[in-house]
């Protein structure tokens, strides 16, 4: 028993190292100071209780992964500033809104939240071709 346990554990440790270093397939755009600030605001305001990024998060509002491309900056700013019937106005200041936009634009550039039908393989898995940078 002990031997199998140890083999599995070592495999886990190795896999973890591989995921940390190569899991992104070498595609990355480093965060700027503003992106980092936006990410902090995203967490402090708990936007994730209602919104998803890559389908992960709450369900009350829309997935915002590619909202920057789809809706555009002005529409996003309006929601963040005033809220809507469903989205609460969170009293964000101008700097916070700028940071959030920078963060969401950065997320948008990492890929698409919705996997397109061409990327679905007959075996059921995906082969996602990188779209952007």
Partner 1 sequence: MTTATKWHIGFALLLLATALVVGSLAAFAFLLPDGIALIPFRQLRPIHVSAALFWIISGATAGLVHFKRVEFGETRGSMLYTGFLVLWIGTILAVFGFYAVNQYGGREYWEFPPLLAVPLLFAWLLLMADYFRAWLKRTPDPPLYVWMWSTGLLFFLITFIEQNLYQIPWFRDNYLREITVQWKSNGSMVGAWNQMIYGTALYLMVKLSGDEGIARGRKVFIFWFLGLSNLMFNWGHHIYNVPTAGWIRHVAYGISMAEWIFLINIIQGFRAKMTEQRIHRNIITYRFLLASEFWVFLNLILALLMSIPAINRYTHGTHITVAHAMGTTIGINTMILLASIGTMLGMDALPDKERRWIKIGRRITTVSLLVFWFALIAAGLLKGYRSVALGMTDFQAMMQPVNNVLYVFAYAGLGVLLGLGIVVWAYFNRLLQPSS
Strand 56-57 versus strand 52-53 pairing type: antiparallel
End-to-end CA distance of the chain, in Å?
47
Q: 79 or 97: whose CB is closer to partner 1?
A: 79
- Alpha-helical regions (H) of the chain: 2-22, 33-44, 67-70, 73-82, 94-108
- The correct pick among 23, 55, 58, 83 for binding ligand HEM (CB under 6 A) is 58
| Beta carbon of residue 57, minimum distance to ligand HEM (angstroms, whole number) | 8
Residue 76: how many other CB atoms lie within 10 Å: 19
Whole-angstrom distance, CA of residue 19 vs CA of residue 22: 5
Whole-angstrom distance, CA of residue 111 vs CA of residue 89: 29
- Does position 126 interact with partner 1 (CB under 8 A)? The reply is yes
Whole-angstrom distance, CA of residue 54 vs CA of residue 112: 8
| Beta carbon of residue 24, minimum distance to ligand HEC (angstroms, whole number) | 24
Site of interaction with ligand HEC (CB under 6 A):
45, 47, 49-51, 60-62, 64, 67, 71, 75-76, 79-80, 84-88, 90, 100
Binding site residues, ligand HEM, CB under 6 A? 58-59
Binding site residues, partner 1, CB under 8 A? 1, 4-5, 8, 11-12, 15-16, 19-20, 22-25, 27-31, 36, 39-40, 43-46, 48-50, 52-63, 70, 83, 85-88, 106-107, 110-115, 120, 124-128, 130-131
């Amino acid at each position: 028993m002990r031997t199998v346990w140890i083999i599995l554990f070592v495999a886990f440790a190795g896999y973890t190292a591989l995921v940390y270093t190569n899991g992104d397939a070498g595609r990355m755009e480093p965060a700027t100071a503003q992106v980092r600030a936006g990410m902090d605001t995203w967490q402090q305001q708990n936007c994730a209780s209602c919104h998803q990024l890559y389908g992960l998060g709450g369900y009350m509002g829309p997935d915002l992964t590619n909202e920057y491309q789809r809706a555009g900056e002005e529409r996003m700013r309006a929601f963040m500033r005033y809220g809507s019937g469903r989205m609460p106005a969170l009293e964000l200041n101008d700097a916070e809104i700028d940071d959030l936009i920078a963060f969401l634009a950065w997320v948008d550039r990492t890929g698409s939240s919705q996997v397109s039908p061409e990327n679905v393989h007959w075996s059921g898995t995906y082969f996602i071709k990188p779209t952007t940078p």
